[in-house]
């Protein structure tokens, strides 16, 4: 880390651990919660930043690399969501379980985001230099290659979204724990390489979601829909409700939502309900009829059919499988 970088971080009261190439900033909230920003700098061409934020504005403690070349930026959202701002104030969102990437020339700070509750990881690499700067980064060569976006995505200079697989989510959780537990930089690099390998697999096996920025008015409508579908998932929300509320066609409402969040309206509603149901099957004592009602299905049969279509097993089998897994983990 450069001397000017150290001076920059000290201005914010950062706790610096030079031997671990690590810094940490803690900022208390008015409600007693603590914002934490943790950074690792394994080389001058790579940053790994963890943001655990509970305020409306995420402070940006990433350092400018300087110089030219291709920059690969990866943001992984563990919980909450964040809003990315374009140069003209346009918006789109990254939600829990998603990965957002861009691959651009020069460090243009393309990720500018705000939120009120967010836990996530950002990896920034100056691809042309990161491999050769220090020997321990050589292991990342294959991972970085797989993390690059397809040519058509880089050619139009846009953001590229993909859903994180279970393996990626698990590795992300482990890496976040390493960062919070003050591991040294070598351990962080090894786990980051594993994460990069998993993201590369996600890029080849999952359907990518290319999104376009929305105006502030369009983003506000999409966010209103998102909040309703996510927080009040037991209620039926036909798209006509929002079309009438905003005086727009149902097609326009659906397009706004897809542009900002990357999902079709009905697809996202089903996604939320199935994931909530799965969580209750794993972690609650509600019977299946009760869970069915809680996620908006009056018919037990329709719920079971929808759940099997989504997860490949019936709700009862899903609960049994997870009970067995928990027992095995405990053993």
Q: For residues 119 and 80, is the Cβ–Cβ distance under 8 A?
A: yes
Average pLDDT, stretch 196-206?
Answer: 83
Distance CA 46, CA 60 (A): 16
Q: With CA atoms as reference, report the closest residue to 142 among 185, 201, 93, 224.
A: 201
Burial label for 146, CB within 10 Å (0-12, 13-18, 19+), is middle
Best CA proximity match to 159, nearest among 70, 61, 75: 75
Query: pLDDT digits over 11-49, tens only?
Result: 667 788 888 889 898 888 777 788 888 999 888 888 899
CATH number of the domain that residue 294 is part of: 1.10.10.60
Whether 183 has a pLDDT exceeding 90, the answer reads yes
How much is the pLDDT for 175?
A: 97
Q: What is the pLDDT of residue 253?
A: 94
Q: What percent of the chain has pLDDT over 70?
A: 77
Instruction: Using the predicted structure, report yes or no on whether residue 128 has a pLDDT greater than 80.
Output: no
Structural domain boundaries, residue 133 = 3-210
pTM: predicted TM-score of the whole model, two decimal places: 0.71
Residues 105 and 224 placed together within one structural domain of the fold = no
Instruction: Inform me whether the pLDDT recorded for 307 exceeds 60.
Output: yes
Residue 288 C-alpha from the chain's centroid: 30
Q: Are residues 244 and 274 in the same domain?
A: no
Residues 253 and 301 in one domain: no
pLDDT per position as a tens digit, 238-271: 999 999 999 999 999 999 998 888 788 999 999 9
Compute the mean pLDDT over every residue in the chain, rounded to the nearest whole number: 81
- Of residues 327 and 106, which shows the higher confidence score? 327
* 117 and 184 co-located in one domain: yes
Nearest of 12, 33, 9 to residue 22 by alpha carbon: 9
Q: Return all residues near 44 (Cβ < 8 A) that are at least 6 apart.
A: 1, 2, 65, 129, 133
Q: Kindly state whether residues 220 and 282 are assigned to the same domain.
A: no
Whether 281 and 151 share a structural domain: no
Same domain, 130 and 20: yes
Taking 70 as the threshold, does the pLDDT of residue 109 lie above it? no
Q: How many domains does the chain have?
A: 3
pLDDT of residue 56: 62
Same domain, residue pair 63 and 133 = yes
CA distance 219 to 7: 38
pLDDT band at 110; cut points 50, 70, 90: very low
Angle at 233 between CA 229 and CA 238, to 5 degrees: 60
Do residue 133 and residue 34 come from a single domain? yes
Pair 229, 199 in one domain: no
Displacement of CA 297 from its chain's centroid (Å): 29
Q: 276 and 257: one domain?
A: no
Asked if residue 142 has pLDDT above 80, the reply is no
CATH number of the structural domain spanning residue 146:
2.60.120.10
Q: Judge if 17 and 32 occupy the same domain.
A: yes
Q: Check residue 243 and give its pLDDT.
A: 95
Please say if the pLDDT value at position 107 is more than 80: no
User: Is pLDDT of 289 > 90?
Assistant: yes
């Amino acid at each position: 880390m450069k001397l000017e970088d150290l001076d920059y971080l000290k201005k914010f009261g950062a706790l610096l651990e030079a031997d671990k190439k690590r810094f940490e900033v803690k900022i208390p909230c008015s409600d007693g919660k603590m914002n934490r920003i943790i950074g690792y700098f394994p080389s001058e061409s790579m940053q790994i930043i963890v943001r655990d934020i509970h305020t409306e504005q995420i402070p940006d403690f990433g350092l400018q690399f300087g110089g030219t070349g291709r920059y690969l930026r990866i943001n992984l959202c563990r919980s909450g969501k964040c809003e990315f701002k374009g140069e003209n104030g346009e918006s789109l969102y990254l939600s829990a379980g998603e990965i957002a990437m861009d691959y651009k020339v020069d460090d243009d700070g393309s990720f500018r985001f705000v939120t009120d509750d967010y836990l996530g990881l950002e990896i920034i690499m100056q691809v042309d230099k990161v491999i050769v700067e220090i020997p321990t980064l050589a292991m990342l060569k294959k991972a970085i290659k797989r993390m690059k976006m397809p040519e058509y995505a880089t050619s139009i200079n846009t953001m590229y979204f993909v859903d994180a697989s279970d393996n990626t989510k698990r590795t992300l959780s482990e890496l976040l724990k390493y960062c919070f537990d003050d591991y040294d930089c070598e351990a962080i690099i090894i786990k980051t390489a594993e994460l990069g390998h998993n993201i590369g697999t996600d890029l080849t096996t999952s359907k990518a979601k290319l999104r376009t920025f929305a105006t502030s008015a369009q983003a506000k409508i999409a966010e209103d829909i998102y909040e309703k579908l996510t927080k009040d998932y037991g209620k039926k929300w036909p798209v006509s409700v929002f079309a009438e509320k905003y005086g727009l066609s149902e097609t326009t409402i659906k397009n706004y939502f897809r542009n900002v969040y990357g999902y079709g309206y009905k697809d996202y509603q089903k996604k939320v309900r199935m994931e909530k149901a799965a969580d209750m099957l794993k972690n609650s004592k509600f019977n299946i009829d009760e869970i069915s009602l809680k996620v908006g299905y009056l018919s037990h049969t329709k719920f079971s059919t929808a759940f099997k279509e989504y997860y490949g097993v019936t709700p009862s089998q899903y609960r049994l499988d997870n009970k067995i897994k928990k027992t095995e983990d405990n053993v």
